[in-house]
A and B are shown apart, each in its own frame.
Chain A
Amino acid sequence: MPANYVVGIDLGTTNSVVAYASLETEQAEVELLELPQLIAPHTIDSRHSLPSFVYLGGEAEKSQQALDLPWADQRDFAVGEIARRQSADAPDRTVGGAKSWLSHHKVDRQQDILPWNAPEGLPQISPVEATRRYLEHLAAAWNAKFPESSLQEQTVVLTVPASFDASARELTREAAQGAGLPDTLVLLEEPQAAVYAWLNHWGEKWRKQLKVNDRLLVCDVGGGTTDLTLVQVDEEGGELSLRRVAVGNHLLVGGDNMDLAMAFDVSTLFAEKGVNLDPWQSISLWHSCRAAKETLLQDENADAQPISVLGRGSKLIGGTVTVDVPRDRALKLLLDGFFPKCGADAHPERGHSSGFQELGLPYESDPAITRHLAAFLQAHRDEAEKPVTHVLFNGGVFKSDAFQDRLMEVLADWNTEAPQRLAGPHDLDYAVARGAAFYGWAKRHGGIRIRGGTARAYYIGVERAGLAIPGAPRPLNLVNVVPIGMEEGTSIHVPSQEVGLIVGETAKFRFFSSPIRKDDQPGQALSRWDEEEIAETDPLETLLPKDDAIQESSVPVTFESKITELGQLELWCVSPRTGGRWKLEFNVREDD
Chain B
Amino acid sequence: MGRLGTALTLFFKILFNRETAEKAQAVLLLPAAGEAPAPTTKPEPPKPAEPPKPAVPRGVDALVLLAALQREARFLDLFQEDLSSFADAQIGAAVRDVHRDTKATLERIFGIERLRDEEEGTSIAVPAGFNPLELRLVGSVGATPPETARLVHAGWRATKCELPKWNGQPEAAKILAPAEAEV
Number of B residues near A (Cβ < 8 Å) is 37
Structural contact, B94 and A316, CB atoms closer than 8 A: yes
Q: Is A107 an interface residue (CB 8 A)?
A: no
Contact A317 B78 (CB under 8 A): yes
Interface stretch (choices A64-72, A190-198, A207-215): A64-72
Given the contacts A306-B96, A314-B77, A44 and B90 also touching, CB distance less than 8 Å: no
Given A148-B12, A314-B80, A317-B86, the answer on whether A44 and B94 have CB atoms closer than 8 Å is no
Q: Are B167 and A44 in contact (CB under 8 A)?
A: yes
Is A422 in contact with chain B by the CB < 8 A criterion?
Answer: no
Say yes or no: A308 contacts B164, CB within 8 Å.
Answer: no
CB neighbours of A147 from chain B (8 A):
46-47
Q: Is B67 an interface residue (CB 8 A)?
A: yes
Q: Is the CB of B168 within 8 A of A66?
A: yes
Q: Does B133 contact A (CB under 8 A)?
A: no
Judge if B16 is at the interface, Cβ distance under 8 Å: yes
B63 to chain A, nearest CB (A): 10
* Set of chain B residues within 8 Å of A44, measured between Cβ atoms: 164-167
Q: Do B167 and A68 touch (CB < 8 A)?
A: yes
- In the complex, the answer to whether A317 meets B166 with C-beta atoms within 8 Å is no
A277-304 Cβ-contact flags toward B at 8 Å (1 or 0): 0001000000010010000000000000
Indicate whether B50 reaches chain A with its CB closer than 8 angstroms.
Answer: yes
Instruction: List the A side residues contacting B21 at CB < 8 Å.
Output: none
Instruction: Give the chain A neighbours of B163 by CB distance below 8 A.
Output: 45
Of A46, A291, A310, A317, which contacts B83 at CB under 8 A? A317
Nearest-CB residue, chain B, relative to A70: B50
Q: Is the CB of A43 within 8 A of B97?
A: no
Q: Smallest CB-CB separation from B173: which chain A residue?
A: A42
Which of A295-345 touch B at CB < 8 Å? 306, 308, 310-311, 314-318, 320, 322
8 Å CB contacts to B: which residues of A43-100? 43-46, 64-66, 68-70, 89
Closest CB in chain A relative to B121 CB, distance in Å = 26
Give chain B nearest CB distance to A521 CB in angstroms: 54
Is A45's CB under 8 angstroms from B165's CB? yes
Q: How far is the CA of A80 from the CA of B87 in the complex (A)?
A: 40
When distances are taken between beta carbons in the complex, the residues of chain A under 8 Å from B166 are 42-44
Closest to A323 in B: B93
Report how far A65 CA is from B168 CA in the complex, Å. Answer: 7
Identify which of A41, A280, A291, A310 contacts B94 (C-beta below 8 A): A310
Nearest-neighbour CB distance to chain B for A24, whole angstroms, equals 14
Given that A44-B164, A70-B167, A147-B47 are known contacts, is A308 also in contact with B96, CB under 8 Å in the complex?
yes
Cβ-neighbour of B90 out of A69, A291, A317 (below 8 A): A317
Chain B residues within an 8 Å CB radius of A70: 50, 167
Are A306 and B93 interface neighbours, CB within 8 A?
A: yes
Question: Any chain B CB within 8 A of the CB of A271?
Answer: no
In the complex, chain B residues whose CB is within 8 Å of the CB of A36:
165
Specify which of A68, A308, A314 is in contact with B93 (CB 8 Å cutoff): A308
Select one of B85, B93, B180 contacting A320, CB under 8 A. B93
Min CB–CB distance A64 → chain B (angstroms):
8
User: Are B74 and A316 in contact, with the CB atoms below 8 A?
Assistant: yes
| B contact residues around A39 at 8 Å (CB) | 68, 71, 164
A-contacting residues, B99-134, CB 8 Å: 100
Once A316-B94, A316-B98 are accepted as A-B contacts, the answer to whether A310 and B81 lie under 8 Å apart by CB is no
> What's the nearest-Cβ distance from chain B to residue A62, in Å?
13
A-facing residues in B117-174 (Cβ within 8 Å): 162-168, 172-173
A45 lies within 8 A of B164 (CB) = yes
| A42–B168 CA distance with the chains assembled, in angstroms | 5
Inter-chain contacts of B168 with A (CB < 8 A): 41-42, 64-66
Q: How far is the CB of B169 from chain A (nearest CB, A)?
A: 8
Which A residue's beta carbon lies closest to that of B85?
Answer: A318
Q: How far is the CA of A64 from the CA of B50 in the complex (A)?
A: 19
Question: Complex: how many Å from CA A307 to CA B125?
Answer: 44
Beta-carbon contact of A43 and B167 below 8 Å:
yes
Contact of B97 among A65, A68, A288 (CB under 8 A): A288
What residue of chain A has the Cβ atom nearest to residue B95's Cβ? A317
Contact of A40 with B by CB under 8 A: yes
Q: Does B91 contact A (CB under 8 A)?
A: yes
Out of B12, B71, B74, name the residue touching A40 (CB < 8 Å). B71
CB distance from B92 to the nearest CB of A (A): 9
In the complex, chain A residues whose CB is within 8 Å of the CB of B64: 43
Task: With both chains docked as a complex, state the minimum distance between the C-beta of B88 and any C-beta of chain A, in angstroms.
Answer: 11
Contact with A along B57-70 (1 / 0, CB 8 A): 00000001001100
Instruction: Report the nearest A residue to B86, measured CB to CB.
Output: A317
Contact B97 A310 (CB under 8 A): yes
Assess whether B172 is in contact with A42, with CB atoms less than 8 Å apart. yes
Within 8 A of B (CB), among A503-534: none
In the assembly, what is the distance between CA of A310 and CA of B97, in Å? Answer: 8
| Residues of B with C-beta under 8 A to A66 | 168
CB distance from B183 to the nearest CB of A (A): 10
Contact A320 B165 (CB under 8 A): no
- Nearest-neighbor residue (CB-CB) of A280 within chain B: B182
| Distance to closest chain B CB from A311 (angstroms) | 8
Query: Closest Cβ of chain B: how far from A291's Cβ, in Å?
Result: 6
Q: Give 23 A-B contacts (CB < 8 Å), ordered by A residue.
A: A39-B68, A39-B164, A40-B71, A42-B166, A42-B167, A42-B168, A43-B64, A43-B68, A43-B164, A45-B165, A46-B162, A64-B168, A65-B168, A70-B167, A148-B16, A280-B182, A306-B96, A310-B77, A314-B80, A315-B81, A317-B78, A317-B94, A318-B81
Q: Which residues of A contact B (CB under 8 A)?
A: 36, 39-46, 64-66, 68-70, 89, 147-148, 280, 288, 291, 306, 308, 310-311, 314-318, 320, 322
13 more A-B contacts (CB under 8 A) besides A44-B164, A320-B90? A42-B173, A43-B164, A43-B166, A44-B165, A44-B167, A70-B50, A306-B96, A310-B97, A311-B94, A316-B77, A317-B94, A318-B85, A318-B90
The 6 closest A-B pairs by CB, nearest first: A42-B168, A45-B164, A316-B77, A320-B94, A322-B93, A317-B94
